[in-house]
Chain A
Amino acid sequence: MTGSARLWGLSWRGLKRDMRAGDVRALFLALALAVAASTMIGFFLDRLDRGLTRQAGQLLGGDVVLEQSRPFDAALRETLESAGLTLSDQVDMVSMVSQDDAFQSVSLKAVDDAYPHYGVSRIARGDEVAEVASGPARGDVWIAPRLAMLLDAGVGDSLRVGSAELRVDGVIEREADPSAGFGNFNPRLMMHVDDLPATGLVQEGSRIEYELLAAGSAEAVASVAPVLARLRGEGVEVQDVREDRPRLGSALERADRYLSLAGLAAVLLAGVAVAMATRRYVERHLDTAALLRCFGASQRDLVGLFALQLLWLALAASLVGALVGLAGQALLLALLGAVMPIDLPPPGLLPLGMGIFTALAVLAGFAGPTLLRLRRVSALKVLRRELDPLPASAWIVVVMAAAVFGGLLWLYSGDGLLALGLLLGGMIALVVLWGLGSVLLRLLARLCRRLPHETGSPDNPWRALRMGGQQLARRHNASLGQLLAFAAALFAMAMIALVRGDLLNAWQAQLPEDTPNHFAINIQPGERDAFEAALNETADAHSALYPMVRGRITAIEGQSPQDVVPQEARGDNALRRELNLTWSDEVPTGNRLVAGEWFTASSTDSSGWMSAVDARKVAPISLESGLAERLGLGVGDTLTFSVGSETVKGRITSLRDLDWDSFRPNFYVIFPPGVLEEFGHSYITAFHLDTAERGVLLGLVEDFPAVTLLDVESILSRVREVLDQVTRAVELVLVLVLLAGISVLYAALVASMPVRAHEAGLLRVFGAGNRLLARVQGAEFALLGLASGLLAALLAELAAAGIYLTWLDLAPRWHLGLWLGLPLVGILLVGVIGQLLSRGLRRQAPMASLGLLGET
């Protein structure tokens, strides 16, 4: 019939005309929502990733941080700089400072002029607090509030640092790179690196850590990956922000997964809506296709024409969806203003491309097989209307849609196994749902038939319910299709809302009100009980007091650790520094055994915990699972520790997962009681104090002068701030999923309108008034909503359990509210949308309604 150029034009004009039809509007809405969801979440996650990386960089002090005990050589600097990285030097050490007669050990950090790569420090000078994007000037120091308190020093005072006299320029409220100081229990003192020689602190044999902080693009960092790998192999500690996320990581990673899940739910719902709307679209175009065949169009022309028409539709919807997605991600960014750095590059094109690709994939997968029905239309249908081509097999439609959705799952999650699992689970669920839905529909119809038969009054609500139930039963297959579509929509909406609620609860549970905001260390054994009593009296809550012995891993299986561990672990902190070892007779709160067995006294004899140590003096130990994984260790491996001047051997008998985000004391290595007590030790605990009760701290400092108190409230409040902002983002995404769910309801109802119109026309012909019609239709929608709500509740309950266990790492629980809420929401949503859409039908003359079935 036509050249391809004419086909393009014809399809475009056809689409413009077709926009009057409800199914095309439903298709447009569904596709636009799919694109909006995927682009918005794509843009957002892209930026969130950059934001986290930047934040990680800020906490670490750079995108890559190298650390070793000697200065870095010029060749390495040149290599890194030529890759496009900017460098900053830091020197860390523990030293003594004094003012007058007061001495205090400090965690000294000397920084250069390039400090800090990211963020600003908050420095208090008297009553003023300044945000400073540099380090202390030459001749100046900044000191932590605790140091100021311990030395009774203030701004303008002189401190002796080694041989140098340096002036206190400010008190540190927040360091630009706070994590660097957290691991060291001495109060911070910051100075300029150029002042170090004058202090005379850098001498042969001094325990000094040299840090080289590099900042630059992801590409620049990636380009030096081989250099970093080599350095790791040489024992240099290398921290890369992309691999070594900050402590807030797990909460945000859950948010990341949640958003991906929400995006996929929106895409799936859009797909269902597309499938429903396409069915109606195809039915409506059977006559068009037959006419076009009459006028000379070939089968190929027909497929081309309608496929192009839908392509135009998908592109237009993609454009609108992408704009909504762009606006949405801007809103997300505004909500996440404090988490996201403001100088991010503009949104990339990749999420946009992914959005358009998603729309096309959804269209091909969910509409393709149905669309091919148009190809089989016979021209003879213009004379014999009943000659409709058979609909595509429901299984072909489902399998094609599932294949495409599975592909999208894979693409978005990056986890083929997960995609396959979800897909197979979804297919099985569909079969089960089909059966359950069918039973449920029959049950409802039977119940409706038993309602009071006829009471004479047309206003009797039972009558409408009875008739509505009968209509559902008469169109069993069509009703079942709608039921499943509604159930899918309600299920996805419920699941996203449900997971959101539990995610937020989990976050809140992770950081409850009484999360410790102070650490107390250096509690001497003689003070232990008194300190615990004082805490019981003053603090809202505190963790157990754990003994702490410093020890270094000196051998693994009798060999040097460097010879045994994987090459990339050679620079691991755990091998380079002393670890805090503890002992405990029970698994500490927040720890979970993942391998082996916890040591028990009863398993040996009554001589106490020491009996657990075997004849070769090898004690059982429990190791943190992450460290075990990094070092390639497992249950049964033997570690040797140097503790003071002694050697202690331990065999790993259990591995533990622990929550590093918990703000409680956590330990890599735990011994049973009876092994480490002979060594000098102190105790550590964490406790919570309300801001108003900070005065208690002074009392503790006075009563226990040797105890060191660390305030981590600022880090804690930062974590809370991030969680609050991510929560708001999650809620915005939820709105999108809800909209996608509503698009399914809309599409399914639009698709069913001609049949409903025909029925309404017949009822009108037989004397039903508007009021009865409205009631019957309302009853039918309400029954559909009720049944789909019940099905959705079942599905959501099962799916949420699966997702919690596999993806979000949360414990599953029952949600009784679902079983009441979803049927109610189903009745309301399906009822309201259905009544709105069918309002026009009730106004139509019966002639028009009856004609509608054949002609639209």
Chain B
Amino acid sequence: MSNSSHANANTPILHAEGLSKEVVSGERRLIILQALDIEVQAGESVAILGQSGAGKSTLLGLLAGLDAPSGGRLAMFGQSLGDLDEDGRAGLRAGRVGFVFQNFQLLPTLTALENVLMPLELTAVRDADRLARRWLERVGLGERLDHLPKQLSGGEQQRVALARAFVTGAELVFADEPTGNLDPVTGERIIDTLFELNHEAGTTLVLVTHDHALARRCDRCLQLTDGHLVEMMRDEVGA
């Protein structure tokens, strides 16, 4: 596992200044994100709201170090991502960052247990098997350990993904539309589980969603519109 310096109490876990992202399509330059500033403290839960196509997922990708910005500065755990190449950024994430995706991203040939084991196997975690089982039991899938994703419902698959995100003891979890592929009831349960796990583990949570109900459960809400990010008061977040 790569261990760069841990953020101290006063250092934000995520800090972006003037963050921008442009893509060039033929002769056209398309500005997706423009001079964004954002700071996320350890233990916070932050929702990024926006319409479809607003660039939420692009922003999440930048914040998680999955993509490089066109401009601006970004630091994670106090480490400037601009100083790191892609491998360096991957190393920074190892064991410290968890992900939950809209389409679950479970590997179809792996069982539920094996999917949860995957990030543990990348980091030198002792007793990985026991840990993975415990997390799957924690999300209510203790009886479905050996099931392949196709044998699980959408909600169950997302719970496996939740277990996978938290199993490494991640300090920071990114969630991309975690209920986007689920019906409202199942989605509600998943959100309950997500926040329970977040509180139990004291994890920092950054999620992007267009679901205002979900956003209201976060400590802070940011609205992404026309490439700009605006902080919203909780009561400004509509139903």
Interface residues of A (CB under 8 A from B): 1-3, 6, 9-10, 13, 17-18, 20-21, 284, 287-288, 291-301, 378-380, 382-385, 848, 854-856
Interface string of B69-104 (1 = CB under 8 A from A): 000000000000000001100111111010101010
Q: A473 to chain B: closest CB distance in Å?
A: 30
* Distance between Cα atoms of A17 and B115 in the complex (Å): 11
| Interface residue B105 (Cβ < 8 Å from any Cβ of A) | yes
User: In the bound complex, do residue B66 and residue A294 qualify as a contact, i.e. CB atoms below 8 Å apart?
Assistant: yes
User: In the bound complex, do residue A1 and residue B94 qualify as a contact, i.e. CB atoms below 8 Å apart?
Assistant: yes
Q: Assuming the A-B contacts A1-B1, A17-B110, A295-B119, are A382 and B105 also in contact, with contact meaning beta carbons closer than 8 angstroms in the complex?
A: yes
Q: A257 to chain B: closest CB distance in Å?
A: 44
Residues of B within 8 A of A284 (CB): 109
Give 20 A-B contacts (CB < 8 Å), ordered by A residue: A1-B2, A1-B90, A1-B123, A6-B124, A9-B121, A17-B109, A18-B109, A20-B109, A21-B109, A294-B99, A296-B123, A298-B87, A298-B90, A301-B122, A378-B86, A382-B99, A383-B60, A383-B61, A384-B57, A856-B109
Residue from B1, B86, B107, B123 with most neighbouring chain A CB atoms (10 Å): B107
User: In the bound complex, do residue B108 and residue A855 qualify as a contact, i.e. CB atoms below 8 Å apart?
Assistant: yes
User: In the bound complex, do residue B118 and residue A291 qualify as a contact, i.e. CB atoms below 8 Å apart?
Assistant: yes
Q: How large is the interface on B (under 10, 10 to 19, 20 to 34, 35 or more residues)?
A: 35 or more
- The closest CB in chain A to the CB of B56 belongs to A383
- Pick from B66, B109, B114: contact of A378, CB under 8 Å: B66
Q: Assuming the A-B contacts A1-B91, A296-B91, are A287 and B107 also in contact, with contact meaning beta carbons closer than 8 angstroms in the complex?
A: yes
Residues of A within 8 A of B121 (CB): 6, 9-10, 13
Q: A313 to chain B: closest CB distance in Å?
A: 14
Q: A357 to chain B: closest CB distance in Å?
A: 30
| A contact patch SS | helix
User: In the bound complex, do residue A856 and residue B108 qualify as a contact, i.e. CB atoms below 8 Å apart?
Assistant: yes
Q: B172 to chain A: closest CB distance in Å?
A: 12
Residues of B within 8 A of A9 (CB): 121
Q: B52 to chain A: closest CB distance in Å?
A: 14
* Distance between Cα atoms of A514 and B103 in the complex (Å): 77
| Interface residue B150 (Cβ < 8 Å from any Cβ of A) | yes
In the complex, the 6 A-B pairs of residues with the closest C-beta atoms, listed nearest first:
A296-B94, A298-B87, A379-B66, A295-B119, A380-B66, A296-B93
* Distance between Cα atoms of A385 and B57 in the complex (Å): 12
User: In the bound complex, do residue B114 and residue A383 qualify as a contact, i.e. CB atoms below 8 Å apart?
Assistant: no
Q: Assuming the A-B contacts A1-B90, A380-B66, are A296 and B95 also in contact, with contact meaning beta carbons closer than 8 angstroms in the complex?
A: yes
User: In the bound complex, do residue B87 and residue A292 qualify as a contact, i.e. CB atoms below 8 Å apart?
Assistant: no
Q: B145 to chain A: closest CB distance in Å?
A: 14
User: In the bound complex, do residue B90 and residue A297 qualify as a contact, i.e. CB atoms below 8 Å apart?
Assistant: yes
Residues of A within 8 A of B168 (CB): 295
User: In the bound complex, do residue B105 and residue A287 qualify as a contact, i.e. CB atoms below 8 Å apart?
Assistant: yes
User: In the bound complex, do residue B2 and residue A291 qualify as a contact, i.e. CB atoms below 8 Å apart?
Assistant: no
Q: Assuming the A-B contacts A1-B2, A298-B87, A383-B57, are A288 and B107 also in contact, with contact meaning beta carbons closer than 8 angstroms in the complex?
A: yes
* Distance between Cα atoms of A667 and B168 in the complex (Å): 87
| Interface residue B67 (Cβ < 8 Å from any Cβ of A) | yes
Q: Assuming the A-B contacts A380-B61, A383-B66, A855-B108, are A295 and B94 also in contact, with contact meaning beta carbons closer than 8 angstroms in the complex?
A: yes
- The closest CB in chain A to the CB of B99 belongs to A294
Q: A735 to chain B: closest CB distance in Å?
A: 32
* Distance between Cα atoms of A296 and B89 in the complex (Å): 8
Residues of B within 8 A of A294 (CB): 64, 66, 90, 93, 97, 99
Residues of B within 8 A of A382 (CB): 66, 99, 101, 105
Q: A14 to chain B: closest CB distance in Å?
A: 8
Q: A843 to chain B: closest CB distance in Å?
A: 13
Residues of B within 8 A of A3 (CB): 124
Residues of B within 8 A of A296 (CB): 1-2, 90-95, 97, 119, 122-123
| Interface residue B44 (Cβ < 8 Å from any Cβ of A) | no
- The closest CB in chain A to the CB of B96 belongs to A296
Q: A605 to chain B: closest CB distance in Å?
A: 89
| Interface residue B171 (Cβ < 8 Å from any Cβ of A) | no
User: In the bound complex, do residue A292 and residue B122 qualify as a contact, i.e. CB atoms below 8 Å apart?
Assistant: yes
Residue from A21, A296, A378 with most neighbouring chain B CB atoms (10 Å): A296
User: In the bound complex, do residue B57 and residue A17 qualify as a contact, i.e. CB atoms below 8 Å apart?
Assistant: no
Q: B171 to chain A: closest CB distance in Å?
A: 13
* Distance between Cα atoms of A856 and B148 in the complex (Å): 12
Other than the known A379-B64, A380-B61, what 5 A-B pairs have Cβ atoms closer than 8 Å? A17-B109, A293-B66, A299-B87, A382-B101, A855-B108
Interface string of B105-131 (1 = CB under 8 A from A): 101111100100011011110000000
Residues of B within 8 A of A384 (CB): 57, 61
* Distance between Cα atoms of A284 and B109 in the complex (Å): 10
Residue from A9, A17, A383 with most neighbouring chain B CB atoms (10 Å): A383
User: In the bound complex, do residue A295 and residue B93 qualify as a contact, i.e. CB atoms below 8 Å apart?
Assistant: yes
Q: A758 to chain B: closest CB distance in Å?
A: 15
Q: B160 to chain A: closest CB distance in Å?
A: 13
Q: A305 to chain B: closest CB distance in Å?
A: 9
Residues of A within 8 A of B97 (CB): 294, 296
- Pick from A6, A17, A301, A378: contact of B67, CB under 8 Å: A378
Residues of A within 8 A of B105 (CB): 287, 291, 382
* Distance between Cα atoms of A546 and B219 in the complex (Å): 112
| Interface residue B176 (Cβ < 8 Å from any Cβ of A) | yes
- The closest CB in chain B to the CB of A852 belongs to B108
Residues of B within 8 A of A298 (CB): 87, 90-91
Residues of A within 8 A of B67 (CB): 378-380
User: In the bound complex, do residue B114 and residue A17 qualify as a contact, i.e. CB atoms below 8 Å apart?
Assistant: yes
* Distance between Cα atoms of A2 and B123 in the complex (Å): 6
* Distance between Cα atoms of A291 and B104 in the complex (Å): 11
- The closest CB in chain B to the CB of A854 belongs to B103
- The closest CB in chain A to the CB of B114 belongs to A17
Residues of A within 8 A of B114 (CB): 17
Residues of A within 8 A of B87 (CB): 298-300
* Distance between Cα atoms of A6 and B126 in the complex (Å): 12
- The closest CB in chain A to the CB of B104 belongs to A855
Residues of A within 8 A of B119 (CB): 295-296
Residues of B within 8 A of A18 (CB): 109
User: In the bound complex, do residue A295 and residue B57 qualify as a contact, i.e. CB atoms below 8 Å apart?
Assistant: no
- The closest CB in chain A to the CB of B57 belongs to A383
* Distance between Cα atoms of A384 and B176 in the complex (Å): 11
* Distance between Cα atoms of A2 and B119 in the complex (Å): 11
Q: A16 to chain B: closest CB distance in Å?
A: 10
* Distance between Cα atoms of A13 and B111 in the complex (Å): 13
- Pick from B66, B111, B122: contact of A1, CB under 8 Å: B122
Residues of A within 8 A of B94 (CB): 1, 295-297
Residues of B within 8 A of A287 (CB): 105, 107
* Distance between Cα atoms of A385 and B91 in the complex (Å): 22
User: In the bound complex, do residue A10 and residue B122 qualify as a contact, i.e. CB atoms below 8 Å apart?
Assistant: yes
* Distance between Cα atoms of A1 and B1 in the complex (Å): 5
Q: Assuming the A-B contacts A287-B107, A291-B105, are A383 and B118 also in contact, with contact meaning beta carbons closer than 8 angstroms in the complex?
A: no
- The closest CB in chain B to the CB of A381 belongs to B66
Q: A501 to chain B: closest CB distance in Å?
A: 44
Residues of B within 8 A of A293 (CB): 66, 86, 90
* Distance between Cα atoms of A378 and B58 in the complex (Å): 13
* Distance between Cα atoms of A359 and B65 in the complex (Å): 39
User: In the bound complex, do residue B93 and residue A299 qualify as a contact, i.e. CB atoms below 8 Å apart?
Assistant: no
Residues of A within 8 A of B60 (CB): 383
User: In the bound complex, do residue A295 and residue B2 qualify as a contact, i.e. CB atoms below 8 Å apart?
Assistant: no
Residues of B within 8 A of A292 (CB): 118, 122
Q: A378 to chain B: closest CB distance in Å?
A: 7
Residues of A within 8 A of B61 (CB): 380, 383-384
User: In the bound complex, do residue A848 and residue B122 qualify as a contact, i.e. CB atoms below 8 Å apart?
Assistant: no
Q: B136 to chain A: closest CB distance in Å?
A: 16
Q: A186 to chain B: closest CB distance in Å?
A: 79
Q: A309 to chain B: closest CB distance in Å?
A: 12
Interface string of B178-212 (1 = CB under 8 A from A): 00000000000000000000000000000000000
- The closest CB in chain B to the CB of A379 belongs to B66
Q: A582 to chain B: closest CB distance in Å?
A: 76
* Distance between Cα atoms of A854 and B103 in the complex (Å): 10
Q: Assuming the A-B contacts A10-B122, A297-B122, are A383 and B176 also in contact, with contact meaning beta carbons closer than 8 angstroms in the complex?
A: yes
- The closest CB in chain A to the CB of B111 belongs to A17
Q: B2 to chain A: closest CB distance in Å?
A: 7
User: In the bound complex, do residue A379 and residue B109 qualify as a contact, i.e. CB atoms below 8 Å apart?
Assistant: no
